[in-house]
Amino acid sequence: MTGFSADDLTCDRFLGGKIQLLQPRRGYRAGVDPVLLAAAIPARSGQRVLELGCGAGQGLLCLAARVGGIVLAGVELQSAYADLARRNGVENGVSLEIVTADLSGLPDEIRQQQFHHVMANPPYYRKGAHSSATDAGRATALGEETALEAWIETAARRLLPKGYLHMIQRADRLPDMLAGCDGRLGSIEVLPLAARIGRAPDLIILRARKEGRAPFRLHAPVILHTGTHHDRDEDHYRPEIAAILRSGAALDWPK
């Protein structure tokens, strides 16, 4: 995939302007999902974090805006997006180690490291399960080429003992996620994300721990918007969600 020209890009503000993100005008454009994923990770200063499929670097940058002193690395299959992630790191003053690679062929500089946290926002749709996007970058970002099990296996290999995987996915992919964790990761928690009260969750965040032994936990859904329906051209995020999206606050997991 060739790189993006200046005319191909927009510069978008995230976290109330804390992050300026260059991303393609057409193709895969980051939304709120990577922001919510980054907010869910309890990283601490001095820890190492790896993102699988980092795109233009939004998730890593959101995490860096909330937690200082962490070491950040990302793996991205599409070279044009990997280049954008590197550029976005420089533009935002955040040190990112970004490698262009497939999950099945990680380079030595990543395979020789282990991390306290791995985060991932894999393609949401099984291959052939959705209408293919006309843009190749968007099609790759949305349509699964590598099975979820392979994402989870790669994450488990890169985690330190007691390290955590956090993954955001469509709710209907939970069986695949649980199957991928089987024999690799434990202490699984699932946090559903529902648009409004009374709506079924569309997305979930899965947390799993290497060598974890705690029982499975399915938490009550996090509700994103106020009200029961969308009636005006406004987002109506609940205050705690607005704090995440606009100020970089953490997404607190239930105790």
Quote the pLDDT of residue 142. 44
Using CB atoms within 10 A of its CB, is residue 199 exposed (0-12), middle (13-18) or buried (19+)?
middle
Quote the pLDDT of residue 129. 52
Quote the pLDDT of residue 216. 98
Asked if 19 and 13 touch (Cβ cutoff 8 Å), the reply is: yes
Quote the pLDDT of residue 125. 82
Quote the pLDDT of residue 3. 82
- Asked if the structure places residue 18 within a domain, the reply is yes
- Asked if the structure places residue 254 within a domain, the reply is no
Which residue range forms the structural domain that includes residue 183?
6-247
pLDDT digits (tens, 9 = 90+) for 178-193: 999 999 999 999 999 9
Total count of domains within the chain: 1
- Asked if the structure places residue 255 within a domain, the reply is no
Give the CATH number of the domain where residue 197 resides. Answer: 3.40.50.150
Quote the pLDDT of residue 137. 45
- Asked if the structure places residue 1 within a domain, the reply is no
Q: 127 CB contacts (<8 Å, ≥6 apart)?
A: 143, 144, 145
- Asked if the structure places residue 37 within a domain, the reply is yes
pLDDT means per 10 residues, the chain with 255 residues, are 84 96 90 96 98 97 98 97 97 98 94 97 74 48 74 98 98 97 98 96 98 98 85 78 97 93
Q: Record the pTM.
A: 0.90
Quote the pLDDT of residue 253. 96
